[in-house]
Structure 1
Amino acid sequence: MIGIGYEGLSIDELVARLQAEGVEVLIDVRLTPLSRKPGFSKRALSEALSAAGIRYVHDRRLGNPKDNRAAYADVASDAGATARARYRELITSGDGADAVRDLAALSEEHTVAVLCFEADQGHCHREQVIAAVAGSSVLV
């Protein structure tokens, strides 16, 4: 499983990277799969991936709540630590935990990429999603 952010990429560059990694399924972990960037809203992204033979799945259960995002990106701050703890709680209980289990099962059968916006995975919640699927006790 890999993580990928589309920040700074065109849709063609994203698709090429996914193909180079042999990705079969892309899981979009944005809470709301909309983008001002052409090609990255749900329908257009799904169509571009389908044309390349990559299945698109949006799983809002793994989305980072809007009011948690600004602090989340500030890795070194107390607010960032609080935002990460809040997100960790979301993906280790209820629907979030179910989504992590579903993603783990899917990744046993397919090469999966987890998508969000941020280029630097260290500033994105997909890092915690991937750690949770891997069974990491760290969960950043």
Structure 2
Amino acid sequence: MWTENSGIIGVGYEGHDISSFIGHLQPWKIDILVDVRLNAISRKKGFSKTALSSALAEAGIRYEHLPVLGNPKDNRDGFWSPGTKEAAKAHKKYRELLEEEAAAEALNYLAQLAGTARVALLCFEASEACCHRRLILEAVNAEAAVLTGA
């Protein structure tokens, strides 16, 4: 879904400090970073909501937080074990959460946003194989296909 002027990718800040993270975003020419953590707090300096939003603004990137797309704490362990029964169970539970009205509205919003801007979905994990944002990206791409009739 990435075009010259719009699209959506997933990014994790694991292994980065705030400076290297923003440097990682710049080649992608990201317009908007959408935080899909349930709670936009971090023990890692610079990645809590206020500090992150400020650092991104200085780099010309808009920040948004969509906590409705966050993965509940009790469902996270399965994501850290790709290919296991625990992962399948966690993915199933998260996909069910994405079907709820508020999450479905957020997915539609993201699909529309990605049609006009370059968007990055943020969570902690470096690998999308271990993160719920992969399922969000799948759902957004499916929603975008519906919106564009593709």
TM over 0.5: yes
Equivalent in the alignment of 1:25 = 32
Q: Does 1:119 align with 2:144?
A: no
Q: Report deviation, 1:93.
A: 2.6
Equivalent pairs, count: 136
What is the CA–CA distance in structure 2 between the aligned matches of 1:45 and 1:85, rounded to whole Å?
31
Structure 1 residue 50 and structure 2 residue 57: aligned? yes
Question: Does residue 1:75 correspond to 2:82, yes or no?
Answer: yes
Matches within 5 A, 1:2-17: 2-17=9-24
Alpha-carbon distance between aligned partners in 1 of 2:46 and 2:120, rounded to the nearest angstrom: 17
The alpha carbon displacement at 1:92 in A equals: 2.3
Mapped partners of 1:130, 1:55: distance in 2: 19
Post-superposition Cα deviations, 1:8-52, rounded to whole Å, max 9, x if no partner, equal 011011111111101000000000010000000000000000000
Ranges of 4+ aligned residues in structure 1 off by more than 3 Å: none
Q: Given the two structures, how large is their TM-score scaled by the length of structure 2?
A: 0.88
**Aligned residue type for 1:55:** R
TM-score w.r.t. the length of structure 1 is: 0.94
Q: CA deviation at 1:75?
A: 1.4
- Aligned with residue 132 of structure 1, among 132, 139, 145: 139
Name the amino acid aligned to 2:92: A
Query: Following the alignment from structure 2 to structure 1, what is the Cα–Cα distance between the partners of residues 46 and 38?
Result: 17
- In structure 1, the residue matched to 2:71 is 64
Gaps of 5+ in 1: none
Deviates more, 1:69-78 or 1:6-15: 69-78
Deviation string for 1:75-99 (max 9, x for gaps)? 1221110100000111123111111
Q: C-alpha distance in 1, partners of 2:50/2:100?
A: 29
Unmatched 5+ stretches in structure 2: 1-7, 144-150
Q: Quick one: percent identity of the two aligned structures?
A: 46
